[in-house]
Amino acid sequence: MADDNPPGLPLPGEEEEVDHVFRARMSLYKAFMANWKNILGLAGLVLVGSLVYGLYEGWDTDRAKAGALAVDEVDRRMPKPSELAMYGLAPLDDLDDPNHVATLEEGARRYEGAGDANSGAMAASGYIKAGDTWLRLGNTENAKAAFEKAVDTREVGLLGWTAHNTLAVLALQEGDSAGAVAHWQAVADSEKSYLGEMALLSIVSTHEAAGENAAATKAAQQFLVAYPLSPRGSDLAQYSTPTPAPAPADG
């Protein structure tokens, strides 16, 4: 008998709830895209990472409900952050609680095991969740290793963006702007959507903050060519190539 609910779609009776959550998250996402310069300049990339992680979580949870992800069993064991915490507005965890810490560590290892046992999107999902859990524990090195494994799956879309963007944020925190730009450029080269826009805008902002005007100009012009109709293009008008004035008529 054919499956009436292919992977990625909510189960019967859940469509309305999922739709409201997804639309709310997309509204917040669009608010970022409308105000990217102020957000990147003031709040930095932590908000961006939390926002995209929130979008990823919503997408991934729906797939898990449809039985598409091998990490579903681990999900059920894990303590969940609140919605406020996912958007960076409240602490994720009480790391003074040894039982809570032990649960997170076990979950991170199980997620990595799920990644190792699978391939493609399921592997990337396991590694991303492992990396996120290690970050919740403050273990940056283990987190980076897990997100690098996710990148190595070569998944695109939200999975690829989440892995690359998190590694970019961690690189910036370590003062490695070139490493951050390389991760965002990988997204820009593979995505022609909001995710590609966000990657290029992040590159522009990073070069601007470092005073690298030539590199900022190159990234901005890449954006203007790739997304000529984007409303974000008006924010990059100073980087557009002036149209040559017509030559005066003879006589």
Percent above pLDDT 70 for the chain: 67
Q: How confident is the model at residue 246 (pLDDT cuts 50, 70, 90)?
A: low
**Residues of the chain above pLDDT 90, percent:** 35
Q: How confident is the model over 65-87, as a mean pLDDT?
A: 69
Q: What is the pLDDT of residue 249?
A: 59
Find the length of the chain.
251
Neighbouring residues of 76: CB distance < 8 A, sequence distance ≥ 6: none
Distances (CA, A) of 110 to 18, 78, 115, 129: 27, 10, 9, 10
Closest among 111, 126, 53 to 83, alpha carbons compared: 53
Cα–chain center distance at 78 = 21
What is the mean pLDDT of the segment spanning 151-171? 91
Angle between helices 98-116 and 120-136 (to 10 degrees): 160
pLDDT surpassing 70 at residue 69: no
pLDDT digits (tens, 9 = 90+) for 23-60: 444 444 445 445 545 544 433 444 444 444 454 555 45
Token readout for 88 is 């960076």
Q: Is 182 left (phi over 0), alpha (psi -120 to 50) or beta?
A: alpha
Q: Write down all domains in the chain, each with its CATH number in brackets.
A: 16-229 (1.25.40)
B/e letters for 14-45, b = 16+ CB within 10 Å, e = fewer, are eeeebeebeeebeeebeebeeebeebbeeeeb
State the residue for tokens 């974000």.
232
Q: Tokens for 109?
A: 């290892």
Provide the terminal-to-terminal Cα distance of the chain, rounded to the nearest Å.
81
| Range in 25-29, 82-86, 188-192 the model is least confident about | 25-29
Out of 87-101, 116-130, 195-209, which region has the weakest mean confidence (pLDDT)?
A: 87-101
Q: What is the arithmetic mean of pLDDT over 123-144? A: 92
Range in 25-29, 79-83, 237-241 the model is least confident about: 25-29
Token couple for 207:
């070069």
Q: How confident is the model at residue 241 (pLDDT cuts 50, 70, 90)?
A: low
Q: Does the pLDDT of residue 236 top 60, yes or no?
A: yes
Question: What is the DSSP code (8-state) at residue 231?
Answer: G
Torsion of CA 116, 143, 155, 119, to 10 degrees: 0
